[in-house]
Structure 1
């Protein structure tokens, strides 16, 4: 059949032994249809100036977005230099799972709703990659797309997060005690756990006259400034303490401790007394007192604190309340 013979002849011509051959025939289906393309020669192939892999075809999906293709090594350097000059991150984008997590990490309290282009920019991903992965995340339920075209975190992630043993399980046990603590003082009762070099707030109960705070449930904060953070850092492994104390430290107020020697003395004081005091380290109108929550083995697994208006109560009086609540939560934890 002429079409088949022509296709085979042209395909054989485009071999490493004959790099200057015309590559201009593409087979469709069973080779019964042949698309004839312009004859192109590449004189720079043998000289190493251009790789054969540089010749790629980028398909367009149903939404008109170009699909991602890998760049050859020879051209990738030029692309990275160009990207660097534009102020964009360079280098490989990483595995698919890593790129999907980059998209999810683009959301934060200040960016709860994002367009596709904003997602791609904040995740440092090509628009085509962001488009493809965001579609898959939407199908799974990790991300939701509103009628306005903006993307938001989906409820499926909340469902999975509720299974975390250090979060909701601990919260369910501690919640009645936190409510009592907040009700008796009219202030903020907080529960937190350590995650790496930071803390994560698991719960916060605010009383009717509670002092405003910078924390939120699910939010992260420095270990060196808050009452719960000082407790968690004081009982963290030595290597964690050393890494945190190596800095840098964020200064929230003029009272925020940022000198390692001062922090070491404060942590030793927390361990010896059994509670922490954060005196106007986060805001100038708040005082925080924290205490450790221990599991059945005596290991510190969380911390509870009261955040009150500065000057409304003495730290020692607050310490008794907080330690009593922390001990009650510790006893209520499942063995």
Structure 2
């Protein structure tokens, strides 16, 4: 059957995104076919489009979505046709009306979570889960501990603010405007720093923490925040670099970690954490519970038709979006 799919033929700007007709067949062993109700929009999609994370070409884009399972392949037992489902999963291909994909990271969606919310939260929410619950400094995190979270008004950041509040953590968020700082505070951040005004955000972190610094920094910005992130850490602190929105981090002189207090650095990825079905299910269960309980609410800032995917990428790169955004494929 023919479906609408957003693809690139060469890496480049948003103008390279094109909607094409593609044949979607039956799922093979370990696969499902899902008809999308909504597709998530994430910065990793920009990296795939511009070639920072190269893909075999031509390439379909998109790493998360939600919808109805239409068919299951041999060996798939946790899903059945007709199930409501959601996923964050490789390979890319979520920008489509329907697709065939590996089933292991596709999760049955609880009835209380709607499709748009699910598509907006899977990558971002599972990212926050592995950061705050698994990517931890020496001795872990306890209620009252300070953590620094960059881009706190973005899709990942707003979920992190709420989840940190639920854990009793004192999250210090950074953002690029007073309005975004207010949004982070509204969603549970204990403190917010406008890094365009307070350019030495590490000094503000020291001020907030009585000179001690934080136990952990969660940094998706990369090049622009790297040095300040290191300077914000307490001795034995952990810098978790999980993205590079401003560009890749510079080469690391490992001796710097010694002089700044026996620091730790890690570069985790979501897809390592959800590599097994059991791991993906356990993480998804915790995310669904947080959202279902109301402790974490998913803010959808904007909705785009699938045909407007290029504009969605322009807005994403221009940092015009707070919260999450979704693409809505044509139905019927």
Same fold (TM over 0.5): no
The two structures have a TM-score, normalised by structure 2, of 0.28
Q: Which has the higher contact order (CA 8 A, sep 6+)?
A: 2
The structure that is strand-richer by fraction is 2
The structure that is helix-richer by fraction is 1
The two structures have a TM-score, normalised by structure 1, of 0.27
